Amino acid sequence: MAEYADLVHAYESGIGVDGSSMPGVDPGSNLAAALPVWALAGGAVTAYSRATDRFRVAAGLDPLGEVPDPGRITAAFSSERLFRAGGAAPDVFAPLSGFFAAADGWIRTHANYPHHRTRLLTALGLPPGTSRADFTKRVAALPASEIEDRAHDHGAIAVRVRTEHEWADSPQGRATAAGPLVAIEPRADRVRADRAANESRFAPTSLQPLRGVRVVDLTRVIAGPVATRALALLGAEVLRIDPPGMPEIEWQFRDTCQGKRSTLLDIRTEWPLFRDLLENADVIISGYRPGALLRAGVDAGQIGPGIVYGRVSAWGEHGPWGDRRGFDSIVQAASGISLIEGAQGDSRSESPVGALPAQALDHASGYLLAAGVIDALVARAHDDTGRDVRVALARTASWLLAAPGRTPDHAPATAPDACYAVTHDSITTAGPALSAYPDFRWPAPQYGADTADWTVRPAGS
């Protein structure tokens, strides 16, 4: 078996720079951009597919050797453009989410969740019912850096739009660009004593090689849910846990929770139940900020032997921004991607800012995290050792910024082909990125409707 340094290197080297290894790539596709987004998307899904084949081989099964379908991949990465609930498209961004002109530049905010909107308004000294127009006026009166600092101090989300060179030269930019694209680290404190007891429920098949693997899903939004959905597609038993009183954005949940079960559980007050789930799990995936589980009362010593602990964060776990909140759109703005994808004019011009044609940092990071977790499970079968697996949106962004193959004069991004969508009842979503799977095992369940246990959802329900 290859050393893990080699496997991690393979994630970077396996992501092409022009998509030339993928048949049928159209540069005018729905991932058309100045930056090589297709190379990132195709490479991330390929990494996931190849890791799955490594697991199959380790389990005594034949690899599928799947050749990724560009149409499926680009549709999966642009899933919000295919999503329909009762025929209606979702409102992807709330009124106070987006680009706003500050006194000396531009900022980008994220206020899709009500608590983030409240914090953002508080940070700027505005009342709860502030309109977008009044918010815009307030932002225009303040320096961009001051808004960024105020937001951080209040737990809100807003960043100053930077050039790629500003970001690369900053302490936080240098920190987020360091290290591997997928960090996989063995944990000497997580060695299993009884392999047979833990693996007696495993029953891998060619299309469900992870059948019997139990995954505690502590993720929200896109990147983490994409990773756990990718594991569920392969047969893993994924139990998504959300805190009561903090509802998820419904369309987002339905777009990324296929093949999972969903429960509500306050891990701070119901620790015995949560501990029981952890003790009988193989994988934990967390999308909370670094240190959030520790603050909730879960420390590293309570993560059991053999556990693979996957984590996705915005800015990485180290460096000056390690404790900051962030989302794909925010990382794009801070890292220089927004200016590259915009008019690339002066920062005070009418519209210098833009965005990637999809939440590509989120989706790519999700598939890369799934790939790393699968490889960590393969390694555990050899040495009974649990591992930490980490990805960060900003690290994925740094790969994209460093990759050759920019096309500033590209054609406009087109809509994904509806032939790659699946519909259940009144909900339409993008289908799986892997062509061997025409659909997910089941559509997203009702939010929080399942029990907090390892009961497998019956087939066809």
pLDDT band per the 50, 70, 90 thresholds, residue 90: very high
Q: Are 5 and 49 in contact (CB under 8 A)?
A: no
pLDDT band per the 50, 70, 90 thresholds, residue 30: confident
Res 21 pLDDT > 50:
no
Distance of alpha carbon 208 from alpha carbon 52, whole angstroms: 10
Compute the average pLDDT of residues 76-81.
95
pLDDT band per the 50, 70, 90 thresholds, residue 447: very high
Distance of alpha carbon 297 from alpha carbon 274, whole angstroms: 11
Distance of alpha carbon 247 from alpha carbon 233, whole angstroms: 24
Higher pLDDT, 165 or 305: 165
**Tokens in use for 52?**
């799955």
Look at residue 102 in the predicted model and tell me its pLDDT: 97
Distance of alpha carbon 430 from alpha carbon 256, whole angstroms: 10
Sheet harboring 283-286: ordered strands across?
A: 183-191, 385-392, 308-313, 283-286, 214-218, 237-242, 261-264
The residue written with tokens 């997928």 in the block is: 182
Alpha carbon of residue 66 to chain centroid = 23
**pLDDT tens digit string along 227-263?**
999 999 999 999 999 999 888 899 999 999 999 999 9
The residue written with tokens 């799955």 in the block is: 52
**pLDDT tens digit string along 375-408?**
999 999 999 999 999 999 999 999 999 988 898 8
Compute the average pLDDT of residues 53-58.
96
pTM of the model: 0.93
Distance of alpha carbon 92 from alpha carbon 82, whole angstroms: 12
Among the residue ranges 119-123, 167-171, 316-320, 359-363, the one predicted with the least confidence is: 316-320
Look at residue 246 in the predicted model and tell me its pLDDT: 83
**Tokens in use for 35?**
């930056």
Sign of the Cα pseudo-torsion (435, 440, 443, 444, in order): negative
286 DSSP β-pair partners: 218, 311
What length does the chain have? 461
Q: Are 33 and 341 in contact (CB under 8 A)?
A: yes
User: How do 421-424 and 385-392 pair as beta strands?
Assistant: unpaired
**pLDDT tens digit string along 449-460?**
999 999 866 554
Share of the chain above pLDDT 70, in %: 86
CA distances from 27 to 20, 93, 245 (A): 11, 27, 44
Q: Are 230 and 296 in contact (CB under 8 A)?
A: no
Look at residue 24 in the predicted model and tell me its pLDDT: 46
**What type of residue is 435?**
S
Look at residue 146 in the predicted model and tell me its pLDDT: 98
Look at residue 9 in the predicted model and tell me its pLDDT: 56
> HEC profile for 49-115?
HHHHHHHHHHCCCCCCCCCCCHHHHHHHHCHHHHCEECCECCCCCCCCCEEEECCCCEEEECCCCHH
Look at residue 348 in the predicted model and tell me its pLDDT: 39
Res 343 pLDDT > 90:
no
Res 461 pLDDT > 60:
no
Res 298 pLDDT > 70:
no
Share of the chain above pLDDT 90, in %: 69
Res 218 pLDDT > 50:
yes
Q: Taking every pair of C-alpha atoms in the chain, what is the biggest distance, in angstroms?
A: 64
Residues 6 or more apart whose CB falls under 8 angstroms from that of 237 comprise: 212, 213, 214, 215, 261, 454, 456
Number of H helices and E strands in the chain, helices first, is 18, 13
CA distances from 166 to 96, 173, 324, 334 (A): 26, 8, 19, 9
User: b or e along 39-62 (b: 16 or more beta carbons within 10 Å of the residue's beta carbon)?
Assistant: bbbbbbbbbbbbbbbbbbebbeee
pLDDT band per the 50, 70, 90 thresholds, residue 156: very high
The stretches of 257-324 forming alpha helices (DSSP H) are 271-279, 292-295
Res 211 pLDDT > 70:
yes
Residues 6 or more apart whose CB falls under 8 angstroms from that of 20 comprise: none
Res 409 pLDDT > 80:
yes
Distance of alpha carbon 18 from alpha carbon 340, whole angstroms: 18
106 DSSP β-pair partners: 101
